[in-house]
Amino acid sequence: KQEVTQIPAALSVPEGENLVLNCSFTDSAIYNLQWFRQDPGKGLTSLLLIQSSQREQTSGRLNASLDKSSGRSTLYIAASQPGDSATYLCAANTNAGKSTFGDGTTLTVKP
Amino acid sequence: DGGITQSPKYLFRKEGQNVTLSCEQNLNHDAMYWYRQDPGQGLRLIYYSQIVNDFQKGDIAEGYSVSREKKESFPLTVTSAQKNPTAFYLCASRTGQGIFNTIYFGEGSWLTVV
């Protein structure tokens, strides 16, 4: 059974700092890995999707990497801003259309 | 605009009542999902449906029921058998299977037992 772990559970940084969020998964037989942002009381918004054959994806200040062999993905946020404060979740997606989610990392960026 | 609409946003249930959460999508997606999220935790799969008139139990299906009579709609009923239903419920749909499959979410529904 796939298990997804996100470390740390919470992170607080000053504005402008670069930071890395971690996601690990136990079953490397994934089709892709997806990173989401969730604001309090809201649904999930997709940030980046990395196919199993890719090593990384970039969107603006966000860069996600994937290492299937080690079962790890990272989300790098450059020059963090207070508006980046949210919970970030990763999901490992299989070919059967099932997703396994981590518990998320709650990020606070202080002005 | 295409998307997933969940209603109501907030719902209160009395002990012993069944309540139904609505989920409608106009993305033409075949697959739809219901997740439950408790405070500070990730998402747990309740039920999912890959095609119309077919659905499967997820990891925490006890006390819940669903139907999929139309491609666009996947309502979730929280029955009185669900002993701890207070949670945030998220509906989602998926573009397809294989390496290009991407999941999209609605804005969620808060259910509170009073």
- Give the residue with greater pLDDT, A12 vs B80: A12
pLDDT for B66-98, tens place per residue? 999 999 999 999 998 888 899 999 999 987 666
Quick check: B100 pLDDT over 80? no
pLDDT for B3-35, tens place per residue? 999 999 999 988 889 999 999 999 999 999 999
How far apart are the C-alpha atoms of B34 and B37, rounded to whole Å? Answer: 10
A36: helix, strand or coil: strand
Residue A98 confidence class, pLDDT cut points 50, 70, 90:
confident
- Exposure string of B78-97, with b = 16+ CB inside 10 Å and e = fewer, is beeebeebebbbbbbbbbeb
pLDDT for A24-79, tens place per residue? 999 988 888 999 999 998 999 999 999 888 999 999 999 999 999 999 999 999 99
Q: Any CB–CB contact under 8 A between B86 and chain A?
A: no
- The minimum CA-CA distance between A43 and chain B, rounded to whole Å, is 4
**Which chain B residues are Cβ-neighbours of A53 within 8 angstroms?**
99
Q: Which residues pair with A37 in a beta bridge?
A: A45, A88
Distance set, CA B103 to CA A13, A14, A20, A97, B94 (Å): 29, 32, 23, 9, 4
Among A85, A92, A44, which residue's Cα sits nearest to residue B108? A44
Query: What is the reported pLDDT for B79?
Result: 93
A82: helix, strand or coil: helix
Please give the average per-residue pLDDT across B95-108, as a whole number.
Answer: 77
Quick check: B101 pLDDT over 80? no
Residue B103 confidence class, pLDDT cut points 50, 70, 90:
confident
How far apart are the C-alpha atoms of B104 and B28, rounded to whole Å? Answer: 12
Residue B52 confidence class, pLDDT cut points 50, 70, 90:
very high
Locate the chain A residue with the closest alpha carbon to B94: A97
Please give the average per-residue pLDDT across B31-46, as a whole number.
Answer: 92
H or E stretch including A105? strand A105-110
Cβ contact B99–A42 (<8 Å): no
Query: What is the reported pLDDT for B40?
Result: 80
Q: Which residues pair with A32 in a beta bridge?
A: A51, A93
**Which chain B residues are Cβ-neighbours of A99 within 8 angstroms?**
33, 45, 103
For strands B10-13 and B109-113, give the pairing.
parallel
Backbone phi and psi for residue A83, each to the nearest 5 degrees, phi listed first: -65, -10
The beta strands (E) that lie in A1-101 are given as 4-7, 10-14, 19-25, 32-38, 44-51, 56-59, 62-67, 72-77, 86-93, 99-101
